[in-house]
Structure 1
Amino acid sequence: MTFPDHAGPPGAIHRLFDLAARICLTVAGIQLVTLIAIFGWLVFGRYVLNDTPTWVEQAALLLVVWITFLGGAAGVWTKAHLSIDFVREMMPAPLRVPLRWIAVIGVIVFGSYLAWQGYELAAKTWQRRIPMLGIAEGWRAVPMIICGVLSVLFSIVHLAALARGQDLAEH
């Protein structure tokens, strides 16, 4: 994946956030491979051994949540997340800049809310166990917290770039 060019030599914060995004993508990639492997085990167990491994469904649900949120956080940094910026870019030039600000501020608000609600959900569900896995149910909400916090931090850097007249999306 190509990470954005930050208009000049990257500073320490850009290198740190590039690393954080790469870690998110690496962990999500490993989890995706794990997800594929455990589904292979499910098929093998069900059709060859005639003994379906029942833990696979719960593990898959947990992995999908982690993959989605870690990938989403990295997408905020790389500006590769789901967006409809082509609409904004078709607007007249005087409207584009305020719309870019609104979009980045919107991600900050959403990321803050996501982190807060993820924390609330993790705290409320930590005492329950995921059936067949035996780990805390709160682990399903931890990636929400990570994604929310990273989205806010990444967006603050994007906001600072906009304030300097740069748009990190243009690379």
Structure 2
Amino acid sequence: MSDANAHTPARDFLRPVEKLLDAVAQACRIITGVSLVVLTVIFGWLVFGRYVLNATPTWVEQAALLLTMVIAFLGAAVGVHEDTHLSVVAFRTYVPRWLRTVFVIMTDVFMAGFGLLMLIYGAQLTAFKWGSMIPLIQLPEGLRSLPLTIGGGLITLFALAHLARLALGRDLRSDIIQ
């Protein structure tokens, strides 16, 4: 009896892992959303301070750079998890199914490798810069590259999860199934 939905230890193991990864991606969405709101508010304060109070809050630029890093790298990780990152899906759609699967595997492997490089070199940069302070806000300079490190780790994790789903026949990405 060959049932595509049969329970196997590997498939059963993947379910809680997928739930955990979904929760991590949801946490990243919340963090990036809150960061975007805070970014908007502090830029509103910058404009108000500059043009109404005639006293520009100088810390806004440094805080905005930090928030932009959080939004960019955690948002990119969520994009990998949800398969909405900048891959060439249009190209993959027009090739035969067997070649499409090869391209999907290559994309996931490249994404995992790129995320791993982000993690390794981001961690080195974070450690190197942690001892100095960001001017005007007096936070460790390493905070600027910490989102790069975390985002790289999450990109690697999410890309490897895609490969595991594909290997177990549980990959539901639309450009593979079409």
Q: Check whether TM > 0.5.
A: yes
- Give the unaligned 5+ runs of structure 2: 1-10
Inter-partner Cα distance in structure 1 for 2:17 and 2:165: 12
Deviation at 1:95, TM superposition (A): 1.1
Inter-partner Cα distance in structure 1 for 2:103 and 2:142: 36
1:93 aligns with 2:93: no
Amino acid at match of 1:120: Q
Aligned to 1:15: 19
Q: Which of 155, 167, 174 is matched with 1:163 structurally? A: 167
Deviates more, 1:103-112 or 1:144-153: 144-153
Inter-partner Cα distance in structure 2 for 1:94 and 1:154: 23
Q: Which of 37, 42, 56 is matched with 2:41 structurally? A: 37
TM-score computed with the length of structure 1 as normaliser: 0.91
Q: Which of 80, 84, 90 is matched with 2:84 structurally? A: 80
Alignment of structure 1 residues 1-171 onto 2, 5 Å: 11-170=15-174
Deviates more, 1:15-24 or 1:92-101: 92-101
Deviation at 1:110, TM superposition (A): 0.3
Amino acid at match of 1:134: Q
Q: Which structure would you say has the larger Rg? A: 2
Output the aligned Cα RMSD.
Answer: 1.7
Inter-partner Cα distance in structure 1 for 2:85 and 2:102: 20
Secondary structure of the residue that 1:11 maps to in structure 2? helix
The structure-2 alpha-carbon separation of the partners of 1:11 and 1:165, relative to structure 1 and needing over 3 Å to count, comes to closer
Inter-partner Cα distance in structure 2 for 1:93 and 1:72: 27
Amino acid at match of 2:68: V
Secondary structure of the residue that 2:54 maps to in structure 1? coil
